[in-house]
Amino acid sequence: MKKNVFHINRRHFLKGTTAALALSSFGVYGIDLIHRDRVLRVGLIGTGWYGKSDLFRLMQVATVQVVSLCDVDQQQLAKAAELVMKKQPGAKKPRTYTNYQAMLAEKDLDIVLIGSPDHWHAMQAIEAMKAGAHVYLQKPISVDVLEGEALLVAAKKYGSTIQIGMQRRSTPHLMEAKKNIVDTGMLGKIAHVEMWCYYHMRDTANRPAVSVPNFFDYDQWTGPAPLREFDGIPHRRWRAFMEYGNGIVGDMCVHMLDAVRWMLGLGWPTKVSSTGGIFIQKEAKANTTDTQHAVFEFEELNCIWQHRSWGTPPDSDYPWAFKIYGEKGTLTGSVFSYDFESLETGKKIHKKVTYEKEKYPADLVEKDIELHTAPATRMHMLDFLSAIDQRKVPVSNLTEGHISTASCILANMALELKRTLQYDSKNRIILKDPVATALLQRSYREGWSHPATEFLKH
């Protein structure tokens, strides 16, 4: 496999508090400011909202050449190419593709960013690794458990570095909370965790079927998933359907569960259970739950998840968050802030998100940017580049991404089967449950081959 090198943009990196935090965190993250003699060649699959956001954050912290862009929506693809040209003046216009296999067949990319819908993540990541690239893969890494297991085997075979887009692990204020509160023992023994999301994020429309526009390849967009009737361009709306993702649990719980697992050093849950359904928004086409409760059991610790896509949150300051209960104190955390309260002294600590609006003024004019997560994604990209250069494990590595993703998939399976599940990751089975074991691998549409067929030998 060819050696990949990078050139960090020191002028941007050495600015401000986030850079200071990175510089002071070498022992944890191993971020090093090494200049290299070759510019990274980058490709992006999925030029929608978050695909472009990830790409633009990478471009802010490293000298890269965006060589290739891929999207099945030709209009969205053309707009993305125009934006990239504005951000890398003087460079060649990126090649554009409507088929990711054609893009990867060039085998000339150092890094591939994957921002496509969830049902594509595992297949596209594996093909990118086969093409010799390192991969920045958005969460969740898969929509069935054995896709994730196949990804692990493939990554070992091809030697690629993979960073998963669970950037809570690179969120400055949460890094601080872990270091200064959790790791110092200020919480004492931790015996309970609550996680939740009360965003009104579920699609409640009931659209009629329409003709597919000629600029959009719906068959290629659907790929291995079931081909649903076309009711309009599915950008961002695909999350309403379990055919393409893992519901709100797989979209939102996966972030908070991963953050808690990272903070507390947790591995696989021993048991997973879940209840819920569609209780309020019954008129919508969406088949994801509008209400769900899940329990992830660890030794002497339960992590409880709850979401509602209706009603009001119990705490308006923390509509999407986690709360870690210890015998000595309680820590609440979100993408916007954290709060710690000591039960022993009554001391309270509050810290808000780190913004970098002045250091990165382009953020202020970028359409649909999440300003509060931009610093975390930049830090995440730097960690990814460092991991490539130093041949080390990134902070949000594939194994950790698989555990968090699969745990959420297991919660959805437990809801469907109405029973508690115990996953044996060594043997890739649900203990004493052949029916559940069969659901670890979903059926692919005719003409598509599940990666378990190639990488998981039984």
pLDDT digits (tens, 9 = 90+) for 168-188: 999 999 999 999 999 999 999
Based on the fold, state whether residues 148 and 244 are members of the same structural domain.
no
The CATH number covering residue 279 comes to 3.30.360.10
Is 65 among the domain residues? Answer: yes
Q: What is the DSSP letter of 216?
A: B
**Mean pLDDT score of the chain:** 92
pLDDT band at residue 23 under the 50/70/90 scheme: very low
* Mean pLDDT of the region 121-135: 98
Based on the fold, state whether residues 379 and 423 are members of the same structural domain.
no
| Total of domains in the chain | 2
- Alpha-carbon distance of 292 to 274, in angstroms, equals 7
What's the confidence (pLDDT) of residue 90?
85
Is 2 among the domain residues? Answer: no
pLDDT band at residue 458 under the 50/70/90 scheme: low
Q: What is the DSSP letter of 174?
A: H
Based on the fold, state whether residues 389 and 437 are members of the same structural domain.
no
Is 216 among the domain residues? Answer: no
CA 10 distance to own-chain centroid: 27
- Alpha-carbon distance of 216 to 234, in angstroms, equals 10
pLDDT at 12 over 70: no
Based on the fold, state whether residues 269 and 324 are members of the same structural domain.
yes
Based on the fold, state whether residues 345 and 383 are members of the same structural domain.
no
Which residues are paired to 307 by β-bridges?
197, 292
Cβ atoms of 383 and 163 within 8 Å: the answer is: yes
What's the confidence (pLDDT) of residue 36?
54
Residue ranges in 366-443 assigned as alpha helix (H): 374-390, 398-417, 434-438
For 291-347, what is each residue's pLDDT tens digit?
999 999 999 999 999 999 999 999 999 999 999 999 999 999 999 999 999 999 999
Is 3 among the domain residues? Answer: no
Residue 345, CA distances (Å) to 181, 185, 328, 348, 349 in order: 14, 14, 9, 9, 12
Based on the fold, state whether residues 318 and 426 are members of the same structural domain.
yes
Residue 210, CA distances (Å) to 71, 217, 255 in order: 21, 14, 35
For 45-55, what is each residue's pLDDT tens digit?
999 999 999 99
What's the confidence (pLDDT) of residue 19?
37
Which residues are paired to 232 by β-bridges?
none
Q: Which is nearest to 193 in space by CA: 270, 267, 337, 300?
A: 300
pLDDT band at residue 11 under the 50/70/90 scheme: very low
Q: Checking DSSP bridges between strand 134-137 and strand 162-164, what pairing results, if any? A: parallel
- Alpha-carbon distance of 308 to 289, in angstroms, equals 8
pLDDT at 16 over 70: no
Based on the fold, state whether residues 310 and 428 are members of the same structural domain.
yes
Structural domain span for residue 285: 172-205+233-354+403-455
Is 283 among the domain residues? Answer: yes
* Mean pLDDT of the region 353-365: 93
Based on the fold, state whether residues 395 and 436 are members of the same structural domain.
no
What's the confidence (pLDDT) of residue 10?
36
The CATH number covering residue 122 comes to 3.40.50.720
Three-state secondary structure call for residue 210: coil
Is 221 among the domain residues? Answer: no
Is 223 among the domain residues? Answer: no
pLDDT at 203 over 90: yes
Polymer length of the chain: 458
Based on the fold, state whether residues 343 and 239 are members of the same structural domain.
yes
Instruction: State the Cα angle at 287 between 416 and 276, rounded to 5°.
Output: 45
- Alpha-carbon distance of 398 to 162, in angstroms, equals 6
Q: Which helix (H) or strand (E) holds 303?
A: strand 301-308
- Alpha-carbon distance of 53 to 400, in angstroms, equals 23
* Mean pLDDT of the region 56-62: 96
Cβ atoms of 353 and 372 within 8 Å: the answer is: yes
Based on the fold, state whether residues 391 and 327 are members of the same structural domain.
no
Based on the fold, state whether residues 31 and 143 are members of the same structural domain.
yes
Q: What is the DSSP letter of 231?
A: -
- Alpha-carbon distance of 82 to 85, in angstroms, equals 5
- Alpha-carbon distance of 19 to 42, in angstroms, equals 23
Burial class (CB in 10 A: 0-12, 13-18, 19+), 178: buried
Tokens of 37: 């003699």
Based on the fold, state whether residues 163 and 143 are members of the same structural domain.
yes
Is 226 among the domain residues? Answer: no
Cβ atoms of 190 and 325 within 8 Å: the answer is: yes
Cβ atoms of 308 and 319 within 8 Å: the answer is: no
Q: pTM of the predicted model, to two decimals?
A: 0.92
